[in-house]
Chains A and B, each alone.
Chain A
């Protein structure tokens, strides 16, 4: 099983700032099969990024993904008020599919 470790656990930033979220895998994720989701309280997760760096339909270009192998990053270039939420990475290169434990992005 591939274990995904996200850091930091909580990130406190202000609107307009840049956010950098990390996801590290316990072994290489094949074909960069890594996705990122955003979840707000009481809502289902929302797909942001797939294939490590491809933005999902309708996702603003302030969201970008990068990385390969075992190290992946989600960057939000300029935070908007609606971006404060919990973010999860997910690997889908092998079963069992696994998620990171999440990074909470909170307003400073």
Chain B
């Protein structure tokens, strides 16, 4: 069965960095586009970043462009989000999410991880 397990969250000071990981299993990871979506406490969902199945194309929300980097290691079935220059407004639960269709990019999400909490605070 499909599993997505995020890790790497925690408390970090403003201006600091953090790297999130998402370990995938139960499907051919290298054939699917992947995304990060976040949710601030008590708020709605915000899409953060996308990476193509082969890593050759990436998109970012304007709110994180230039500060966050999405990447993947298909040999390790793992998705990453490198977060630099963190701000208080980046505080959220970060979810990794999988697209439904293999090798065909329709950017909706059939599986989500359980999320990892990132808190940016001094």
Binding site for B on A (CB under 8 A): 33, 35, 37, 39, 44-47, 50, 56-57, 88, 90, 92, 95-102
- Interface residues on chain B, number (Cβ under 8 Å): 20
B62 touches A96 (CB 8 A): yes
B residues with a Cβ closer than 8 A to A are: 35, 44-47, 50, 59, 61-62, 95, 100, 106-110, 112-115
Per DSSP, chain A at the interface is loop
Please tell me if the beta carbons of A47 and B108 are within 8 angstroms of each other in the complex: yes
Chain B residue at minimal CB-CB distance from A47: B110
A45 B45 Cβ-Cβ under 8 A:
yes
Bound together, the chains give a CA A44 to CA B115 distance in angstroms of: 7
Question: Contact between A44 and B108 (Cβ–Cβ < 8 Å)?
Answer: no
Most buried by B among A44, A56, A92, A99: A44
- Distance between Cα atoms of A56 and B44 in the complex (Å): 21
Residues in chain B near residue A97, CB distance under 8 A: 35, 47, 50, 107
Contact B106 A100 (CB under 8 A): no
